[in-house]
Structure 1
Amino acid sequence: MLEIAPDDVPGAGAERRIAQARTAGASAGAAAVKAAGAARRVLFSPFTNTTNPYIDIVKRVLTQVGYEVEPLSARGLLGGGFVHLFSRNTVLVFHWLELRPFRRKGTRTLLSPVGCLVFAFYCFVICVGRAKVVYFVHDHAVHDTVGVMRRLSMKLMAFVRGLADARVVHAPTFEGKYRARYLPHPLYWDVPGYEATPRARRDAGVDGAEAVAGVPDVQGVEDTKDDTQPLFAMLGTIRPYKDLAAVLDVWPQECRLEIAGNGSADYVKTLHDVMDRRALNDTVTIDARFLSDQEFEQRISGTDVLVLPHVADSMLVSGAFFEAIGRVPMLISRATPFMVWAAKKFDNVLLFDRIDQLPELVRYAQRNWHGAARQDKRELAMDEFGWLACCRQYQQFFDAVVSGTRASDERSSFN
């Protein structure tokens, strides 16, 4: 089967402290309800993900707002948890259920007979229980599938969406398409107890520089004549759906780029072949291995411009965006619907529609990243995707799911 994947900062201000107090109060109220015997329970699948802290953060949010979060697994159900399927106070939460029937072989995605049985088991669980079902829609199709496999993955996703009582998307522009509720994807760095690695201060002393047609100023700041050159990075799994080979085909030879993450040997060789053909080995490096959380954190903290070239028909949002926004001075991304929405809120997000537009944006960022580095986007990012924003919105949504007060356009439908 496929692997199932992606303390308040000091001095945040009075509004955040008040919001934090409200969140704590809500949690205390939920705890009182639990003590009275009316506990609300979430059965969560998958319960762990060793390659991405996203699952753990979402579980922490739900626990914070008063839900008992337990594994949703065959072992747990057969060990006595089956009774919870018939409680109206139970919510079944699924992430990436559509990955279960598939397995990867190199760069190809194939059907897995065992995975198909697991998928069928969870669909059976959904159908027989009285518990409410929430399905998080992360992708448009299973990554790196083509032809029949891609169409099959989309059919399976549509089937699960139809079984679910409610769907969640992390991209507000897809609420209508998937009849879902938008909930923010949590920031990876705004979690109680988490301390982000400080950025190295390489962004001092700037002058003016020219603008590029069609590229907005970063809050009117243009620069730089400084000799320090920015480090561009593409971080995370190295896979075809990120279109990395096409990026290297047009990458400016004078700009430093770091590619880091786990990837298949065949695809990494393809990238090295492009680098050899274009003589990029002096400025582009590939570190093709699994990065620990600490290593990924160090890479992010040392990145000046993050590049997100994911193809538009792949995922709804990129997890790397929520590692970088508020921390990395500039982001360059393909103009997917979510990134178009994000660019309207964050003026340090630059977009391209076609891959041939990328070199101009890269050179623009090479000249102007210092001005973006001077601007602190942390508060704006926390307001949109931070811990408190997530606690507030997730509690409202899950409480509405349990009580049956969701809007009619969010209810179950095969679409």
Structure 2
Amino acid sequence: MSKVVAAAIAGALTLTTAGGLTVAKVMDRADVTISVDGVSQQVKVRPGSVDQALKAQGISVGSHDTVQPALATKVADGTYIAVNYGRKVNLDVDGTGSSRWTTARTVSAVLQQLNLDNPKNIVSVSRSAQIPRKGLNLAVSVARDVSVTAAGKTTKVTTPGTVADALDAAGVKYDSNDISKPGLGTALTEGMSIAWTKVDVKNSTKNVSVAYSKTSVDTSKLTKGDTKITTQGVDGVNQETWVMTYHDGKLVSQKRTAVKKVKAPVTQVTEVGTKAPAPKPSSSSSSSSSSSSSSSSGGSPVTGGTTCTASTYGANDGTAGGPTASGETFDPSQLTAASKTLPLGSSIRVTNVANGQTVTVRINDRGPYVGGRCLDLSTAAMNAIAPGEGLVTVRYSS
């Protein structure tokens, strides 16, 4: 080759390119690919480090950003440089706040990094949303495994939120009267046990008997010591309203809230004689009269035996016509009595301690079952020794 040709070739290699660079200088650059947050571009860079290559492209990185390969790595043809910018996520997990830096670019990716990607968790931002460079506020309500016991049945559920949310997840229909332990607004924790009690409050009305009172009036129409019932006592009726509280269908409390008078009781009126007794007859007539009186009153007063309180039953108390312990039908007009211990069918004499009046009765029933009482006299038997009275002190013997 001649020197002229060689010189021509050498001169050609020093020709200027369209961009003003010599061909030699252009051939001195490396082809690299730079990816910034997943967006790639191919560029030519001078020989040097990754850091120099990025700066040449106007790309700066901070302490929360990642660069691969490392900034000090030398670049060559075909080098792939990946830059991922850090993003600040202000996190609120079940009310507890914290801040995290991440190079993840989507909410879904950062949830996976934080192990909060359970599909049952409630997230304040769409899981598919992008995280901007300026960062993101993200609230997560974590699903918890809890158990709900209602009406004797335990159900396992996985849900975020509060006790109220767990009851909803378990299909429990509740209202403000019901009892939940813990309370409805309590935040769920892993493994929590929830007990729910259904509370029903109902109003109920019922009629109750009101006992009649007794009064006595003096009358000169009757001999002193004699009595006569002129107005029979009648029990009244009140309507009571009650509030009944049920827990899981069982009555746990009841409270009377109102009383309405339906029928007023009728006071029993007894006339008490004040007229002086007639003069005593002669001894013969007195003896005859005394004999007759003893026969009608049941004999002479009992002076020994047992002394106790006797009550009466049969008049207006619903027992007339019912069965007795002896099997016969109760007739309050007969001279009978009830005793807890005396033999059925036996007869005893009963004396009113206050006036000495005596009656003979037959035991045909059992009772009374009120403490301190020994006999329950039929209406006729009580009227024979204490007309119009309900309780009287007696002495009795067989």
Interval of TM-score (by shorter of Structure 1 and Structure 2)? under 0.3
* Structure with the larger RCO, 1 or 2 (CA within 8 Å, 6+ apart): 1
Structure 2-normalised TM-score? Answer: 0.17
Structure 1-normalised TM-score? Answer: 0.16
Q: Which has the higher helix share?
A: 1
Q: Which has the higher strand share?
A: 2
